[in-house]
Structure 1
């Protein structure tokens, strides 16, 4: 069974353009990883300063490897100070699980 994660990011007003570019690069690189089944970033229609990251991973090992990639560190450096609060992480589980 894969691991599904959704992360909400509150972007500081005026930073969306640079944050969106950073997310796009992160998504492009991450999708090349063997254990990344899905890695997509969306901008909320109702809340224009919110980015929602939707992830699906083969297993915890794939997530751990992803977090060690240099482009993850580059993303974190590029977006430093761009979020109004820490990301809100949701590790998902089916209702019947």
Structure 2
């Protein structure tokens, strides 16, 4: 079981992209990816919304998320969110193990 959190960062103009760029260039993203229990930490830009950046953030379990929230990186993230005046929409998903056979026929590997 993994917990995946989709965070949509929205700002004015290119603020969300600047935030993601600074997170990456500062080494914060690499540090988060090295945290125990992190499975994925990637930013994406929706094609139809220039003011939003999507973060897909996936963890092994709730304990790993709690450790991340208690880490020094959270302070950095919160300061950068304020710097760029970003607002967030959050979706949280708990994954099942594997892909059902009924869905596999739709997947080309």
Say whether the 8 Å CA contact 1:7–1:89 is kept in structure 2: yes
Find the counterpart in structure 1 of residue 100 from structure 2: none
Say whether the 8 Å CA contact 1:22–1:75 is kept in structure 2: no
**Which has the larger Rg?**
2
**CA RMSD of the aligned region, Å?**
2.1
**Pairing 1:90–2:83 present:** no
Q: TM-score, normalised by structure 1?
A: 0.81
Tell me, in whole angstroms, the C-alpha distance in 2 between the residues paired with 1:7 and 1:26: 16
In the TM superposition, 1:15-94 aligns within 5 A as 15-16=15-16, 18-24=18-24, 25-80=27-82, 82-85=84-87, 87-93=88-94
Deviation beyond 3 Å, 4+ runs, structure 1: none
- Where structure 2 has 5 or more consecutive residues not aligned to the other structure, the ranges are 97-109
- Where structure 1 has 5 or more consecutive residues not aligned to the other structure, the ranges are none
Structure showing the higher helix proportion among its residues: 2
